[in-house]
Amino acid sequence: MYKNRKLAIVISMAVLLVTIVLGVFLSVSVRTDNYETQCKAADLMRCYIDQIARYKKEVGLGLSKEDIHQTGLIGDEFTGITTTVGTIEAKRTVSNPDMAALAVRMLADAGVEAGNVIGAAFSGSFPGMNLAFLAASEAMGVRIVYIASVGASMYGANQPELTFPDMVHRLFEDDLVSQPLAAFSMGGDRDCGIEMEPALVHIIEKRLTGYGYPFIHIEDYVENLKARLAIYDAYDITCFVGIGGNITTIGVDEDDMPWGIVRPYTAHSPGEKSGLLEIYNARGLPVIHFVNVKKIVAEYGLAYDLQSIEQVGLSAVYYRTQSPRLVIVVGICVAIGILLWGRWSVRNRNRQT
Sorted by where each begins, the domain ranges of the chain are: 3-27+323-352, 31-317
pLDDT at 1: 47
pLDDT tens per residue, range 216-255: 999 999 999 999 999 999 999 999 999 998 999 999 887 6
Mean pLDDT is lowest, of 45-54, 110-119, 122-131, 263-272, for 263-272
Q: Which amino acid is at 85?
A: V
pLDDT at 271: 85
What pLDDT band is residue 19 in, cutting at 50, 70 and 90? low
What is the rounded distance in angstroms from the CA atom of residue 130 to the CA atom of residue 169?
A: 13
135, 44 contact by CB (below 8 A): yes
Q: What average pLDDT does this structure show over 127-131?
A: 98
**Residue 248 CB-density burial (10 A; 0-12 exposed, 13-18 middle, 19+ buried):** buried
Please state, for a pLDDT cut of 70, what percent of the chain lies above it. Answer: 83
pLDDT tens per residue, range 86-110: 999 999 999 999 999 999 999 999 9
User: How many Å separate Cα 129 from the centre of its chain?
Assistant: 7
Report the mean per-residue pLDDT for the chain.
89
What is the rounded distance in angstroms from the CA atom of residue 119 to the CA atom of residue 225?
A: 14
pLDDT tens per residue, range 330-341: 657 765 766 565
Residue in 221, 230, 269, 268 with CA at minimum distance from that of residue 249: 221
Please state the φ and ψ torsions of residue 240, each to the nearest 5 degrees: -125, 135
Residue in 152, 198, 231 with CA at minimum distance from that of residue 167: 152
In what helix (H) or strand (E) does residue 183 lie, and over which residues does it extend?
A: strand 183-185
53, 71 contact by CB (below 8 A): yes
Residue in 86, 159, 152, 130 with CA at minimum distance from that of residue 290: 130
pLDDT at 163: 98
Which pTM does this prediction carry? 0.86
Q: What average pLDDT does this structure show over 28-52?
A: 94
15, 329 contact by CB (below 8 A): no
